[in-house]
Amino acid sequence: MGKGSRVRRDSSPVAVYNLRVLNFVNAAVSYGTVAANLALLAYLGLAASGRDGFVVRRLGRYGYRVALAVAWSGVIGSLYYSEIAGWEPCSLCWWQRIALYPIAILLAIAVARSEERKLSPYIATFAAVGAAVSVYQIYLQFGPPAAEALMNGCSIDGGVSCTETYHVAFGYISMATSALSAFLVVLAGLHLAHRAERHEANAAAPQ
């Protein structure tokens, strides 16, 4: 994330259209991140209080597919920003992509072949690593001024600094925040699906 090349703001029809698309994508990502944050908080609250039985029974079967949709949304969004909008990724952004892209591929394979349980440990590992990188970058972006001193060239060939942001919404949502939300939704989806599988197995077991 940084303030590198952006969509050029001129009055040509193509530039105006590109800017409108960029604003729409930014809004979709921002509101999607807020929705993901609220859903995660609700799930964690219900799980902590032991009142998530209804969620597990009714929605658990969709956990893997939710994780799949979120992962591929992240892949498409990241490629749009870098390849179409021209937002150059920083080095930490690349590490988050390295974690996210295998998640999307593994989830697609797992769902297509009904091998979710088999591949879940690998998916969870990538998600945990990606989340850790996102947390670190969020600290660098929104933490104390001293955090920037930790960077000392966190960029690719002197390019975009990891402390800079292209877009910030609601005072806390940057690309790193959205990435963290995506990784956490993947982990929550896996957890929810595994709990649903255990619930179904217990229900089918002879009493």
Q: Cβ(82)–Cβ(1) under 8 Å? A: no
Identify the band that residue 120 occupies on the pLDDT scale cut at 50, 70 and 90: very high
pLDDT above 80 (res 93): yes
Q: Which residue has the higher pLDDT, 167 or 14?
A: 167
DSSP β-bridge partners for residue 169: 173
Phi, psi of 163 (to 5 degrees): -90, -15
Give the tokens for residue 206: 């002879």
Given the structure tokens 């921002």, which residue do they identify?
30
> CA 126, CA 8: separation in Å to the nearest integer?
35
Rg (CA), the chain: 19
Evaluate if residue 4 carries a pLDDT over 70.
no
| Nearest one of 39, 73, 105, 67 to 191, comparing CA atoms | 67
- Closest among 162, 190, 176 to 132, alpha carbons compared: 176
Rounded CA-CA distance 91/58 in Å is 40
Residue extents of the structural domains in the chain = 13-204
Mean pLDDT of 149-171: 72
pLDDT computed for residue 147 by the predictor: 60
Residue 72: pLDDT over 60: yes
Average pLDDT, the chain: 86
Highest mean pLDDT (candidates 117-121, 146-150, 199-203): 117-121
Alpha carbons 140 and 163: distance in angstroms, whole number: 5
For the ranges 52-56, 115-119, 163-167, the maximum mean pLDDT occurs at 115-119
Residue 1 CB neighbour total at 10 angstroms: 28
Q: Using 50, 70 and 90 to split pLDDT, how confident is the model at 7?
A: very low
Q: Model confidence at 29, in pLDDT bands (50, 70, 90)?
A: very high
Predicted TM-score (pTM) of this structure: 0.85
What integer pLDDT is reported at residue 207 of this predicted model?
57
